[in-house]
Amino acid sequence: MNGAGSGPRGRARARAPSLAARWLAALFAALILPVGDARCATAAQPATTGGAGEALYQRGILGSGEPLDAIHDGGVHLQGAAAACMNCHRRSGLGSREGNSSIPPITWRYLVEPRAQNLEDVDLPYVPGMRAEREPYTEATVARAIREGIDSEGKPLSSLMPQYALNDADMQALIGYLKHLDRRRPTGVTDSVLHFATIITPDADPVKRAGMLDVLTHYFADKNVFPLGAVPPLRSSRKMMFMVNRRWELHVWELKGPPDTWREQLTQFQARQPVFAVVSGLGGKNWAPVHDFCEQEAVPCLFPNVEVPVENDHDFYSVYFSKGVLLESGLIAARIVDEAGTRQTQGTKDAKSPKRVWQVYRAGDNGERGAQALAAALEAHGMAVSSRALAPGESVARAMRGIPRSGVLVLWLRPPDIAALAKIPPATDTVFMSGLMGGLDSTPLPASWRGVTRLAYPFDLPEGRRVRVDYAFGWFSIRQIPMVAPQVQADTYLACGLLAETLSHMVDAFVRDYLVERIQDMLERRILTGYYPRLTLAPGQTFASKGGYIVRFAGPDHIKLVADGDWIVP
3-state secondary structure string across 419-486: HHHHHCCCCCCEEEEEHHHHCHHHCCCCHHHHCCEEEEECCCCHHHHHHHHHHHHHHHHHCCCCCCCH
In a domain, 402, yes or no: yes
**CATH code of 350's domain:** 3.40.50.2300
Q: How many independent structural domains does the chain possess? A: 3
Dihedral in degrees, nearest 10, Cα atoms 223, 224, 225, 231: 70
Name the strand (E) or helix (H) holding 362. strand 357-362
String of DSSP letters for 23-58: HHHTHHHHHHSPTT------PPPPP----HHHHHHH
The C-alpha atoms of residue 351 and residue 342 are separated, in whole angstroms, by: 9
pLDDT score at 505: 87
Residues 197 and 175 in one domain: no
Residues in contact with 476: Cβ distance below 8 Å, sequence separation at least 6, in sequence order: 215, 483, 489, 493
In a domain, 116, yes or no: yes
Q: Residue 563: beta bridge partners?
A: 551
The C-alpha atoms of residue 531 and residue 457 are separated, in whole angstroms, by: 11
In a domain, 369, yes or no: yes
Contact 14, 41 (CB under 8 A): no
Residues 157 and 229 in one domain: no
Residues 401 and 489 in one domain: no
Residues 278 and 360 in one domain: no
Q: Of 146, 181, 216, at which residue does a domain stop?
A: 181
Contact 171, 187 (CB under 8 A): no
In a domain, 533, yes or no: no
The C-alpha atoms of residue 441 and residue 417 are separated, in whole angstroms, by: 16
Residues 69 and 176 in one domain: yes
pLDDT score at 130: 83
> Crossing angle, helix 486-506 and helix 206-225, to 10 degrees?
30
Residues 235 and 259 in one domain: yes
Q: Of 160, 181, 202, at which residue does a domain stop?
A: 181
The C-alpha atoms of residue 266 and residue 283 are separated, in whole angstroms, by: 14
β-bridge pairing 301-302 and 318-319: parallel
Contact 331, 563 (CB under 8 A): no
Residues 441 and 556 in one domain: yes
Please give the DSSP secondary-structure letter assigned to residue 239: G
Q: Residue 485: beta bridge partners?
A: none
The C-alpha atoms of residue 558 and residue 570 are separated, in whole angstroms, by: 27
Contact 326, 342 (CB under 8 A): no
Residues 445 and 301 in one domain: no
Domain that holds residue 418: 325-457+549-563
| 3-state SS class at 554 | strand
Q: What is the mean pLDDT of each run of 10 residues along the chain (570 residues)?
A: 32 36 42 41 39 92 91 79 84 79 84 79 80 88 88 81 86 94 88 96 98 98 74 41 70 98 98 98 97 97 98 93 98 95 55 76 97 97 96 93 93 97 94 97 96 97 95 97 98 97 89 95 90 94 97 91 96
pTM greater than 0.95 (yes/no): no
The C-alpha atoms of residue 64 and residue 222 are separated, in whole angstroms, by: 54
In a domain, 540, yes or no: no
In a domain, 231, yes or no: yes
The C-alpha atoms of residue 359 and residue 387 are separated, in whole angstroms, by: 5
Distance of CA 448 to the CA centre of its chain: 39
String of DSSP letters for 541-552: --BS---BEEEE
CB-CB neighbours of 120 under 10 Å: 12
In a domain, 166, yes or no: yes
Q: Residue 67 — φ and ψ, nearest 5°? A: -70, 145
Residues 268 and 416 in one domain: no
What count of Cα atoms within 13 Å lies in the side-chain half-sphere of residue 293?
21
| 3-state SS class at 250 | strand
Q: Of 181, 204, 227, at which residue does a domain stop?
A: 181
Q: Which among 441, 563, 539 has a CA at the least distance from the CA of 91?
A: 539
Residues 358 and 386 in one domain: yes
Q: Which among 22, 91, 535 has a CA at the least distance from the CA of 322?
A: 535
Q: Residue 359: beta bridge partners?
A: 387, 410
Residues 268 and 226 in one domain: yes
The C-alpha atoms of residue 474 and residue 483 are separated, in whole angstroms, by: 11
Residues 255 and 368 in one domain: no
β-bridge pairing 301-302 and 277-279: parallel
Residues in contact with 39: Cβ distance below 8 Å, sequence separation at least 6, in sequence order: 1, 2, 26, 29, 33, 98, 101, 103
**Per residue in 458-493, is it b (16+ CB within 10 Å) or e — as a string?**
bbbbbeebeebbeebbebbeeeebeebbbbbbbbbb
Please give the DSSP secondary-structure letter assigned to residue 115: P
| 3-state SS class at 347 | coil
The C-alpha atoms of residue 63 and residue 174 are separated, in whole angstroms, by: 10
**Per residue in 55-91, is it b (16+ CB within 10 Å) or e — as a string?**
bbbbbbbbbeeebbbbebeeebebebbbbbbbbbbbb
β-bridge pairing 357-362 and 408-412: parallel
In a domain, 541, yes or no: no
pLDDT score at 121: 67
